Structure 1
Amino acid sequence: MAGTPTIEELEREADAAWWRGDGAASMSASEQVYRRRLEAGDNAGAAHQALTLTLEWATRGDIEVASGWLNRARKLLAASPPSADHGYLAYLEATIAMETEGDPAPAWSASADLSTMATTFADPALACFALVLSGVAAVREGRTRDGFGDLDEAMLPVLAGQVPPLWSGDIYCSVIHLCEGLGDLARVRAWTDALDRWARPQSATFMYAGVTRIHQLQVIAAEGDWDLVEAELGRRSEGLVGSHGWLAGAGYHELGEVRRLRGEVEAAAEAFDAALALGVDPQPGLALLTRDRSGPEAGLSSLRASLGQRGRLERARLLSAAVGLALEGGDPAYAQALADEAEATAERYGTPGLVAGAARARALVLLDQGRPDEAIPHLERAARVYRDQRYRYASAQVHEGLAEAHGLLGREPAARAEIACAREIYRQLGAVTDLARLSRPVLPAGLTPREVEVLACIASGASNREVASRLFISDKTVGRHLANIYLKAGVTTRTAAAAWARSQGIAARERV
């Protein structure tokens, strides 16, 4: 038929659309290539196109559609003689299994097979895939040095131009995502810089130029230039929705976190909703936003649901926030269990962010137990890591913890110095919610803000059930808070607690 493009013309059309970041046009042309090759009896060519479409749909964030294309490739290759595309299939299957099930065993097996196939078919990309699989598997098993050694080596054929760009870009993003999960901001920077060096010379409109910028803005958010993040990250994320959906979702997640910390509640919720729509669970920010709106138990419930759906490494970044919510909600036993898990995970992987997160989680538990002298070494360890990693907001949180510990030990000059440091970091970041919290009067007897709220309600004559209803917590949690209040105030009855509250100027008030 006159005017019907050839397969080669469709391939060029798909390639050009991918380079400029038009995922819809790229996949539309690629699907036409697949059908035309299948109609022509070129099963091998159709299988190759199905593999490409699998990765494109997965990158876009449509995992169900990607799985469908993977199954088409699997069926076609099962009836075809051995080829390099069998290696591409093995790589995708092992990667998906490791991501969804957290099991590195299939990756080890596939890595060995790919090494052999790379030699058999003289395909450097397969050797790269073998090293990626062994590297990620080793990291997931806790052998981070060995794992990153393989991942560094895997980049050599990428830099030599021996791996197709679609697959090269996915490898870079996967490794950066792994580094984020490990809480290793230094490695995130290094791999983002490597991605930038690879992507920059390709094309001014290359899709991965936008991908690189989102990764850079994630680092910038940790370092504290929130004005730049606010000005740019939403636009950059929107630009990748049709071509790199999961990273666009990660961008909206980061934007929501910054907005939440700046007190922009509705704007934060909008960003989190955008992340959710793209398949990214924006935790722990979503749980903390829920806490601010509906109380700590609601926030912890949200976070529990996410923890239940994640593997060991994926849970690690949520544990410190979960400990804080558990303590706020009056569940010290759960907080203790979460801190234990954080320490075990940090010991397994040994990366800076996980070590610091576990140290802070343990310190929160120790402070809640009235053991500030034991909490200080954990907080100091976390402070060193966050300072070295240039993670400013986390540094301010640790300074707050140190201020509380020194205050409980009667070291008022040290406590004032630490709180001043935290306040200055929050001021520079624009973390208005934290600044407002630090501007509140010092609470008597080491009471937490939630305990003061409970005590104020009790002093006004409210029953446990009325307190629970007013503060969006359970009757059981009210009882736990009262037990802590009695201990800290040195009283044994409800009447004595109410009298002590009035003597301390704690009056009934609305929850803020």
Structure 2
Amino acid sequence: MPAEDELVAARDAYTRGDWRAAYEHFGRAAKTAELSTDDLSSYGMAAWRLGHGRESIRLSEEAFNRLVAENNTRTAAMKAADVALQWLNGGDQTITRVWVNRARRLLESSPEDEAFAYLLYVDSQLSVIDGQFDAGVQRALELQEFVSRRNSPGLTALCLTASGLSKLPFARTSEALADLDEAMMPVLAGQVPVDWAGDIYCAVIHECYRLGDLNRMKTWTNAMDKWREGPEVAASWYGTTCEIHKWQLLSATADYRELEQRLVDALAVIEDFHVGTAGEGHYELGDIRRRMGDIDGARAAFAKAREIGFEPLPGEALLKCHLGDDAAAWSALQMRIDAEEDEISRIRLLPAAIEIALARGRVDEADRCCRQLEEGAEKFDSPGFRAWAQHARGAVLVQQGAPAEALPILQDALRRYRSTQRRYEMAQVYEWMSRAHEATGESADAASDRANADSIYQQLGARPTQATNAEAPGGLTKREVEVLALIAAGASNRDVAKQLFISEKTVGRHLANIFVKLDVSSRTAAAAWAHENRVLPSA
């Protein structure tokens, strides 16, 4: 087909929202003819919507340079804002800032141009991501003042989203969520350009997820599913990115085995450029594999997340703890908690810190982290945080020897989890309730709780929680029991390391923990305790 015919077909496909056909026709035309600036811009946007992020950036930047050379300042400014959004989605804040500044310079002579609103939207998000929370609020206020002079539902959606995101770091949760909910109205009505609407969907759903507000997350995820059916979206990468956000919701309720494959397929599509979402996806894949008991698969997914710049915590720390390396797990998680500047992200790490502290027998440390979680739940007034806080407090009370006091708190946590169908967490609470009922002499209730936990784990395709093992004598972890059993059978530290596939240094740390928990000072005394309590090597 001649280049001119390819261009006609490409333009028609682009107008219809058939990004695949537009991309292919533009690509063939570009091999034999130089594309116009408009065609080059459309080619870049078609590439973006198909998930070819790096190619899209190259084409969009070339289109921008042409627009500047042609002295088409207003269109160049809007293109710069588009490219800034692309780099923001790509996870590079430094280059995003370069494009924000380019757009700002171009708009100095046209401060009332609508492109300024898109620029302020990106700038506000970028400030919040960089931890410049006051600047994020200031950009959102500037956007609000700009939009107030116009009757534009699309710009209003951008304004409300920026406002909501800028308020969350200051724990103005109810105001922030009201803004974000209101921002979705123009998006649902199709009054926001597709790329910016996709960003709003992702931002709103992501914040619902971070706050543990699964009911609100479900509302907007269902709305997003309908949005994805539209002709401009169905064939784009937004559908795939939405799958990853949807998976985060479904992981609370659905079969892990099915969701694992869906996530693997989704990640294969977006890894070209969408670093933040891809990192999140690999982390979630690792965490689901951890819960399934796929140790090697979890390690591989966590390693991939780290490779592309996403720190795989707390899941990786929990994996280490369940494998018996609880000291390293605690150290890694505490370093991250201490370094985390975003308060919501820090609060999200605390439930795992509590679980690991209890697995180590450090009840005081668990209680300290639990108080921090309770304070965060009160401050942010988040239903998810409140459920986690009740769950943690109940577990700590069980370990403090107050099972009767723990039971009503655990039952409240169970009710909260049930209202959002957080089934994995429900199973964990049932485990703690089983231990509490056992301690109060209510054996039948304990057995019922244990059966409920096992049933949920089986339905999810998950393994029972290992970090706090009710069966282990002496408060030992599963790995400490394995180490002690081998020591009692006469194995040296080197023998234990070989049999358990861990280092001799790790064996030494486990022995030190065992001595403390059993209140003994020698291998001989520990071995004697093991024989008395029938701690024997497993087959």
TM-score, scaled to structure 1: 0.87
| Residue number in structure 1 paired with 2:446 | 415
| Residue number in structure 1 paired with 2:286 | 256
Given that 1:118 and 1:124 are in contact with CA atoms closer than 8 Å, whether structure 2 keeps it comes out as no
- Per-residue CA shift, 1:267-314, capped at 9, x if unaligned? 222222222233322222111223344601111222223322341111
Question: In the alignment, does 2:511 pair up with 1:485?
Answer: no
Question: In the alignment, does 2:412 pair up with 1:381?
Answer: yes
Unpaired stretches in structure 2, ≥5 consecutive residues: 1-29, 498-502
Partner amino acid for 1:246? G
Map residues 49-88 of structure 1 onto 2, 5 A cutoff. Answer: 49-78=79-108, 80-88=110-118
Map residues 36-51 of structure 1 onto 2, 5 A cutoff. Answer: 36-51=66-81
Indicate how the Cα distance of structure 1 residues 478 and 363 shifts in structure 2: closer, same or farther if over 3 A, else same: farther
Given that 2:244 and 2:266 are in contact with CA atoms closer than 8 Å, whether structure 1 keeps it comes out as yes
Question: In the alignment, does 2:207 pair up with 1:182?
Answer: no
| Residue number in structure 2 paired with 1:97 | 127
Partners of 2:145 and 2:60 in 1: how far apart? 30
Question: In the alignment, does 2:235 pair up with 1:205?
Answer: yes
| Residue number among 135, 143, 164 corresponding to 1:106 in the alignment | 135
Partners of 1:9 and 1:492 in 2: how far apart? 77
Question: In the alignment, does 2:167 pair up with 1:167?
Answer: no
Given that 2:91 and 2:274 are in contact with CA atoms closer than 8 Å, whether structure 1 keeps it comes out as yes
Partner amino acid for 1:485? L
Indicate how the Cα distance of structure 1 residues 118 and 443 shifts in structure 2: closer, same or farther if over 3 A, else same: closer
Shift of 1:447: 5.6
Shift of 1:494: 9.3
SS of residue in 1 equivalent to 2:379: helix
Partners of 2:394 and 2:165 in 1: how far apart? 31
Given that 2:290 and 2:298 are in contact with CA atoms closer than 8 Å, whether structure 1 keeps it comes out as yes
Partners of 1:342 and 1:94 in 2: how far apart? 28
SS of residue in 2 equivalent to 1:398: helix
Question: In the alignment, does 2:368 pair up with 1:334?
Answer: no
Indicate how the Cα distance of structure 1 residues 7 and 185 shifts in structure 2: closer, same or farther if over 3 A, else same: same
Shift of 1:121: 5.0
Question: In the alignment, does 2:173 pair up with 1:144?
Answer: yes
Partners of 2:522 and 2:63 in 1: how far apart? 78
Shift of 1:498: 5.8
Given that 1:60 and 1:245 are in contact with CA atoms closer than 8 Å, whether structure 2 keeps it comes out as yes
- Per-residue CA shift, 1:72-126, capped at 9, x if unaligned? 22333346544322332222222122223172x3343333322221243554433
Indicate how the Cα distance of structure 1 residues 210 and 393 shifts in structure 2: closer, same or farther if over 3 A, else same: same
Partners of 1:49 and 1:243 in 2: how far apart? 19
Indicate how the Cα distance of structure 1 residues 39 and 384 shifts in structure 2: closer, same or farther if over 3 A, else same: same
Shift of 1:412: 1.3
Question: In the alignment, does 2:269 pair up with 1:236?
Answer: no
Indicate how the Cα distance of structure 1 residues 17 and 500 shifts in structure 2: closer, same or farther if over 3 A, else same: closer
Partner amino acid for 2:506? F
| Residue number among 370, 380, 383 corresponding to 2:401 in the alignment | 370
TM-score, scaled to structure 2: 0.83
| Residue number in structure 1 paired with 2:307 | 277
Q: Percent identity?
A: 37
Question: In the alignment, does 2:425 pair up with 1:391?
Answer: no
Indicate how the Cα distance of structure 1 residues 506 and 68 shifts in structure 2: closer, same or farther if over 3 A, else same: same
| Residue number in structure 1 paired with 2:42 | 12
Shift of 1:442: 3.4
User: Structure 1 residues 37-46 or 409-418, which shifts more?
Assistant: 37-46
Indicate how the Cα distance of structure 1 residues 492 and 253 shifts in structure 2: closer, same or farther if over 3 A, else same: closer
Shift of 1:153: 1.5
Given that 1:455 and 1:501 are in contact with CA atoms closer than 8 Å, whether structure 2 keeps it comes out as yes
| Residue number in structure 2 paired with 1:505 | 534
Partner amino acid for 1:229? L
Given that 1:179 and 1:187 are in contact with CA atoms closer than 8 Å, whether structure 2 keeps it comes out as yes
Unpaired stretches in structure 1, ≥5 consecutive residues: none
Indicate how the Cα distance of structure 1 residues 340 and 478 shifts in structure 2: closer, same or farther if over 3 A, else same: farther
Partners of 2:218 and 2:100 in 1: how far apart? 32
